[in-house]
Amino acid sequence: MQDIGRGQGRDRSRSGSEEQSLVRYYQTLRERRWLIVACTVLALIAAGVYVKVATKVYQATAELEVQPVSPSNSVLATLPILQQSGDPTEDVLTGASFVTTPAVAKAVVAALHLKMSPGDALADISSSPIGQAGLVAVQASASSPGLAQRLANSFVDQTVALSTQRMHQAIAAELPTLKTQVLAIPPAERYGDGSLGQELDELTQLLNQNDPTLIAIAPAALPTSPSSPKTKLTLIAGLFAGLLLGVGAAFAFHALDPRLRREEQLRDLLDLPVLARIPRERKRSTLPLLPTDLSIAAQEGFRTLRTTITARGSSGESNSYLVTGSAPAEGKSTTAISLALAFAQGGRRVILIEADLRKPTFATVFGLKSFYGVEQVLIGEVDLAHALEPVRLDGTSMRVLAAHQSGAELADRMSFAIVRKLINDAKAQADVVVIDSPPLTEVIDALPFAQLADEVVIVARLDYSRLNRLVELDELLSQHGAAASGLVLVGETQRRQYYYASVPTDRPIEPPPRRSSRPAADGRELPAPEPERSGS
């Protein structure tokens, strides 16, 4: 019974896998439906153009009957006409070959006064047996229905005429000798069964008859429509060809374009939960978007992320969360800022750290003009407490440690010990620390941040992130003991509706009060940064 149960489980697993494969195929076709439609339309247009511009060809068919004579017929056996071979198939093939000869083609051109060579006329003719009834179909192709009809009929007529001519010539050559022989026989013995007189009479009659072995029995009718191109068949063929080409192109583009197209692809490749789904924003910017610039649905999505990640994370007075991605412009900085604000709106003391020392953006986004950056904290020039810049968004305050534009050279010298001190100091001064990391698959400098953070969140953007880079990022984190906690999926097309009172989103960032001086890490007094920050 246990074996049966296991077998049934495998069957169900196999069935489920097949269903998933079918679903993936359907989704691939659905995602590339416009490509399929485009290929189909182009194929139909090409078919229509071909029907319009292609030279129309008309076909007409005449029938010729083949009746070879028996070798036992002493009168006809000596004539140059078709003789029985013992194989009916061979006989009708021989009769069909009589039609497609240069002599017949030359006679047809002369009879119809055609402005073409015998070779060209012969190229438009085909003759083939019809079953085993001793019939030959003579088919002519031409650019007009009348010419096709005349060619088919003329080839049959000239075939019979030339064969008859050869027969008459042979009879005319034989008759004088036969007459002399008959005159030499006594009159009473000249005629009778098998006599020379009877043979003379039969040959004389054949001089006024056509070749009895080739008979034109069905003249060609006038074609009413072209045989090529066939409009309906061509359009149907174009339709199917376009569909096949479109489906093939859809799967080819799917294989060549490894972008994230749907959430199911993440479940197939990564064993990570989706912590939040953020809808696609209409606003385009080369800089991270502030929460006040996002839609209400997106803001609620980040609140969902806060709740989900808190439930999954470690329980302590302060937690650190690193937000990273597999490539630039996926929305990781926007996610880090919005997650930090969501924690702050929940009553937490929040520190937001910019760990991207090569392409920093926080100074521009938050309007920081003169400040102590993360580089100065890392090298011990100033302590963390006095480098943090308080900012106020939507009525909620949090502190930010931004990076200078000139801090790229420090990224190469970032050590595990230095980063650990920074994170520990931040956790000692806040309930939540959110770290904005560069894409680790491109910039490995920030890996110590990922190793020391309590939770790592990967941001992936639909129709942008590459699946192979996401897998590479997940493997990189796992290999260095910094396994990701989950994914934030950015770019959902269907925005969820949230029923809650909207909050004003037009409040500017409030600058913190100016301070006359700041103590450095060694106790020295440092002058305060001069220009005040402006809201963005």
CATH number at residue 405: 3.40.50.300
User: Which residue(s) pair with 13 in the sheet?
Assistant: none
Average pLDDT of span 406-432: 82
Q: Which range marks the domain in which residue 154 is found?
A: 58-218
Q: Are residues 124 and 63 in the same domain?
A: yes
Q: Are residues 49 and 71 in the same domain?
A: no
Residue 57 DSSP one-character state: B
Nearest Cα neighbor of 323 from 468, 488, 465, 491 is 488
Residues 6+ apart with CB under 8 A from 514: 528, 532
Query: Helix (H, G, I), strand (E, B), or coil: what is residue 124?
Result: coil
Residue 533 lies in a domain: no
**Residue 212, phi then psi, degrees to nearest 5:** -70, -10
Residue 208 vs residue 25, higher pLDDT: 208
Residue 65 confidence (pLDDT): 93
Residue 197 lies in a domain: yes
Q: Are residues 392 and 435 in the same domain?
A: yes
- Residue 406 pLDDT level (bands cut at 50, 70, 90): low
Residue 528 lies in a domain: no
Q: Are residues 298 and 404 in the same domain?
A: yes
Q: Are residues 246 and 356 in the same domain?
A: no
Q: Are residues 110 and 235 in the same domain?
A: no
Tell me the pLDDT of the chain averaged across its residues.
82
- Whether residue 390 is predicted with pLDDT greater than 60 in this model: the reply is yes
Question: Which helix (H) or strand (E) element contains residue 150?
Answer: helix 145-183
Residue 180 vs residue 508, higher pLDDT: 180
For the CA atoms of 220, 222, 225, 226, what is the dihedral angle to 10 degrees? Answer: 60
Residue 407 confidence (pLDDT): 55
Residue 467 confidence (pLDDT): 84
Q: Are residues 469 and 498 in the same domain?
A: yes
- Whether residue 174 is predicted with pLDDT greater than 50 in this model: the reply is yes
Burial class (CB in 10 A: 0-12, 13-18, 19+), 55: exposed
Residue 79 lies in a domain: yes
Residue 531 lies in a domain: no
Count the neighbouring beta carbons within 10 Å of the beta carbon of residue 407. Answer: 20
- Residue 512 pLDDT level (bands cut at 50, 70, 90): very low
Question: Which helix (H) or strand (E) element contains residue 437?
Answer: none
Angstrom distance (rounded) from CA 528 to CA 536: 22
User: Strands 350-354 and 432-436: what pairing?
Assistant: parallel
Q: Are residues 249 and 308 in the same domain?
A: no
Average pLDDT of span 339-347: 94
Window from 35-44, 67-76, 189-198, 485-494 with minimum mean pLDDT: 189-198
Residue 18 lies in a domain: no
Q: Are residues 236 and 294 in the same domain?
A: no
Q: Are residues 139 and 239 in the same domain?
A: no
- Whether residue 15 is predicted with pLDDT greater than 70 in this model: the reply is no
Residue 425 confidence (pLDDT): 93
Residue 19 confidence (pLDDT): 61
Residue 156 lies in a domain: yes
Q: Are residues 408 and 450 in the same domain?
A: yes
- Inter-residue contact 485 to 353 (CB < 8 Å): no
* Structure confidence by residue, pLDDT tens digits, 192-233: 777 788 888 888 888 889 999 999 999 999 999 888 888 888
Q: pTM of this prediction?
A: 0.54
- Residue 528 pLDDT level (bands cut at 50, 70, 90): very low
User: Helices 145-183 & 102-112, crossing angle to 10 degrees?
Assistant: 110
Q: Are residues 296 and 383 in the same domain?
A: yes
- Number of domains making up the chain: 3
Residue 433 lies in a domain: yes
- Whether residue 16 is predicted with pLDDT greater than 90 in this model: the reply is no
- Inter-residue contact 211 to 164 (CB < 8 Å): yes
- Residue 523 pLDDT level (bands cut at 50, 70, 90): very low
